[in-house]
Amino acid sequence: MSGSAIMSKVNIIGKTATDVVTGPSLAVSVKYHKTVVWERDEGGKVITLRTGGYKTPTTKRRMNQAFQQFGYSIVVSSSRGFWYVNDNRDPKVWTRSIRFEVDLCIVEV
């Protein structure tokens, strides 16, 4: 596999107005404009999603790009103003933020 093919798989998250920050251990945050829209804790077990009140297609795209880049089969979707997070089992509805374990056990909405 060529180097460019590897890079395209590694760097899935968009660049415009976006910062990806890796922290200690498995901690990662994806900031879109001024909102950390996707965050994984140091243990790699708890993920927090935030809209910052901006339920835009790009906010949702950054979340889904982060899930894809870091190897999760979890998807954020929306319908009629409601946002969902799911892994093809039981979608969870949320509004401004949701915090859950990677097996979709909800910690806090």
Tens digit of each residue's pLDDT (9 = 90 or more) over 20-47 = 999 888 999 999 999 999 999 999 889 9
pLDDT higher at 60 or 88:
60
Is it the case that residue 9 has pLDDT exceeding 50? no
Res. 102 pLDDT band, cuts 50 70 90: confident
Domain assignments of the chain as residue spans, ordered by start: 3-108
pTM to 2 decimals? Answer: 0.84
Q: Is residue 69 exposed (0-12), middle (13-18) or buried (19+ Cβ within 10 Å)?
A: middle
Question: For position 14, what pLDDT does the model report?
Answer: 93
CA distance 77 to 11: 21
Question: For position 108, what pLDDT does the model report?
Answer: 60
